[in-house]
């Protein structure tokens, strides 16, 4: 099913030759995202409709790791790939949290920062949805490396007022920002905009683009890829699924069968996983030593594994495979490329591959409490975000190797 989304104007006071473009929303089992209301104050600029293949690759790895293929792989097939992805449009997910021209928002020459959000939205979720996965993607100005940084979902944050939905502002867990931005007609775009503003206020990092993926979409994408190779570091029993007659089922559905239910156990070791298993493992936090911090690393591992599989299987060089992948992912994504032309982004990112996708962890991979006993970002983590803003993350990681994730 093709992705249907609305495009948004740019709020930055710059020429229409600005930096990027925008995204696509989900349909089907999840609520249709509300249309964006623009990028905030400033002079709106018209942007051309973009139909290039960049965001097809984005879909493979949660909507934003734009670097899973080389520029050479795209050359000569861009028109064909464009046909496979031409239905993808974009939506405003950043509001006024996008980079200004002074921050490099009008050029692709500098670093690129993306916000990736994972949500668990079902048909009956309404507007009561929080962001379960919050990931920052940083690509340095050299465009030959990429970093994933997960922000703990329970981090205490000051969520700014959001006029679009009438939210007055307040202090809550950071994952609630998506919920407050989504309510009262804000839709998925409003949720992402308020999340982006909250993260910018907390870390000082502004964004070039953003993406939302519904967790249910991961299964479809992985199934389209076949399997992904995942390494289980701690044995864990699923909190969400049971086996009935050897088949995995959600707990509620399994109970309705009235049959014997057996636990789904993810045993230690590396193996190829089908979509349901990889998704279920990446969602576990109960029973893991460091709870959500271990889950963050497992989700980062899944993103990297999906990107690697897409490259290894030649998905990005085979228009038919790419088309099938986009059809699988199409109803689960909301995308925002900011002000850049997709073609420009493709060739800018051509030096980065999945092997250069470095996973970083916050708070040294464990809970960090503030003076009120609530989860917060440690001083070292705040320094890491400063390094992101200054585009000095490589130097920071070299000086602080403990921030590197231990997952493969």
Higher-pLDDT residue of 387, 65: 387
Q: Against a cut of 0.85, is the pTM above it?
A: no
- Would you say residue 259 has pLDDT above 90? yes
pLDDT in tens, 299-324: 878 877 887 887 777 776 666 776 67
Are 90 and 8 in contact, with CB atoms under 8 Å apart?
Answer: yes
- Would you say residue 93 has pLDDT above 60? yes
Q: Which of 346, 363, 295 is nearest to 56 (CA)?
A: 346
Helix or strand (DSSP H, E) at 78: helix 78-85
CB atoms within 10 A of CB 252: 9
- Would you say residue 24 has pLDDT above 70? no
Q: Would you kindly state where each structural domain of the chain is located, as residue ranges?
A: 54-224+315-403
Q: Does domain 54-224+315-403 have CATH number 3.30.70.2970?
A: no
- Band (pLDDT 50/70/90 cuts) for residue 381 is very high
State mean pLDDT over 328-357: 63
Percent of the chain with pLDDT strictly greater than 90: 34
Are 93 and 23 in contact, with CB atoms under 8 Å apart?
Answer: yes
Cα–Cα distances in angstroms (integers) from residue 12 to residues 43, 137, 385, in the given order: 6, 22, 23
- Would you say residue 363 has pLDDT above 80? yes
- Would you say residue 226 has pLDDT above 60? yes
State mean pLDDT over 287-299: 82
- Band (pLDDT 50/70/90 cuts) for residue 51 is very low
């Amino acid at each position: 099913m093709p992705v249907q989304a609305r495009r948004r104007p740019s709020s930055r006071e710059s020429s229409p030759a600005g930096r990027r473009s925008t995204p696509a929303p989900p349909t089907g089992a999840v609520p249709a995202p509300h249309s964006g209301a623009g990028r905030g104050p400033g002079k709106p600029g018209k942007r051309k409709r973009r139909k290039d293949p960049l965001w097809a690759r984005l879909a493979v790895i949660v909507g934003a790791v734009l670097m899973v293929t080389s520029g050479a792989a795209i050359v000569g097939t861009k028109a064909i790939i464009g046909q496979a992805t031409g239905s993808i449009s974009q939506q405003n997910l950043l509001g006024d949290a996008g980079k200004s021209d002074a921050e490099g928002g009008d050029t692709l020459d500098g670093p690129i920062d993306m916000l990736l959000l994972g949500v668990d939205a079902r048909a009956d979720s309404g507007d009561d949805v929080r962001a379960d996965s919050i990931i920052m993607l940083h690509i340095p100005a050299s465009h030959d490396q990429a970093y994933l940084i997960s922000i703990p979902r329970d981090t205490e944050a000051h969520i700014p007022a959001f006029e679009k939905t009438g939210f007055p502002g307040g202090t809550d867990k950071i994952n609630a920002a998506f919920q407050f931005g989504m309510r009262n007609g804000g839709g998925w775009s409003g949720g992402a905009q308020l999340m982006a503003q909250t993260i910018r206020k907390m870390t000082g990092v502004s964004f070039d683009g953003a993406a939302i993926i519904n967790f249910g979409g991961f299964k479809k994408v992985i199934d389209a890829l076949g399997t992904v190779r995942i390494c289980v570091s701690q044995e864990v029993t699923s909190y969400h699924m049971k086996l009935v007659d050897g088949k995995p089922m959600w707990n509620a559905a399994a109970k309705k069968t009235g049959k014997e239910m057996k636990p789904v156990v993810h045993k230690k070791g590396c193996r190829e996983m089908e979509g349901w298993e990889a998704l279920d493992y990446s969602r576990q936090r109960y029973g893991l030593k460091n709870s959500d911090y271990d889950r963050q690393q497992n989700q980062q591992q899944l993103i990297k594994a999906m990107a690697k599989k897409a490259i290894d299987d030649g998905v990005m060089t085979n228009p038919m495979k790419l088309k099938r992948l986009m059809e699988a992912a199409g109803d689960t994504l909301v995308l925002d490329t900011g002000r850049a032309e997709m073609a420009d982004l493709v060739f800018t990112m051509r030096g980065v591959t999945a092997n250069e996708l470095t996973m970083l962890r916050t708070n040294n991979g464990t809970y960090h409490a503030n003076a009120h006993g609530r989860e917060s970002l440690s001083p070292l983590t705040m320094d890491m975000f400063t390094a992101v803003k200054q585009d000095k993350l490589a130097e920071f990681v070299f000086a602080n190797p403990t921030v590197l994730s231990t997952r493969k």
